[in-house]
Amino acid sequence: MTIHTILKMGDPRLLRVAQPVAEFDTDALHLLVLDLFDTMRSVNGAGLAAPQIGVDLQLVIFGSNDRNPRYPDRPLVPPTVLLNPVITPLGDDEEDDWEGCLSVPGLRAKVPRWSRIRYTGFDPYGDPIDRTVEGFHARVVQHECDHLIGKLYPMRVRDFTQFGFTDVLFPDIGAAEDD
């Protein structure tokens, strides 16, 4: 297992559209998933997409069984590995809430996201995943899946008066927890 360097905003690899995963249940895929989880945990991430470590595949991981110091008041999201995801909004309702990103360290912004979604895809073994979620869980899935289409959360910000440095906006969150 390896902790990878996370690409930062400005790296053109973050702007690519990722390729679908074609082969499931391979040693290489399982090792990549372990590396993603190790990398995400090493920086207190809520999720991580394969393109963030330079791997051009439609693969995201998110969730944890433990509270996240970057988002201490948020509900737990079950640990999930999602390949070739498809997101379907359930209704037109959106919520604005604060987001950060491991590829945009030290900054946060209010980002609009669909309130309730259905997401489908596959686990690493090729078994189907089909969930209907809302709130923080829905936000995390949408954020991570945006990485698969070359979008970073600042591209979705509508009100730049709600965009700034984490240590200014949220002084109780230590800088070490947000970079």
Active site (catalytic) residues: 144
Residues pairing with 64 in the sheet: none
Residues pairing with 34 in the sheet: none
CA distance 46 to 55: 19
Q: Which among 80, 53, 50, 77 has a CA at the least distance from the CA of 65? A: 77
Torsions phi, psi for 178 (to 5 deg)? -110, 0
Q: How far apart are the first and last CA of the chain?
A: 21
CA distance 82 to 29: 12
CA distance 114 to 92: 7
Q: What angle do CA 148, 79, 57 make, to 5 degrees?
A: 25
Give the containing element (helix H, strand E) for 38.
Answer: helix 27-42
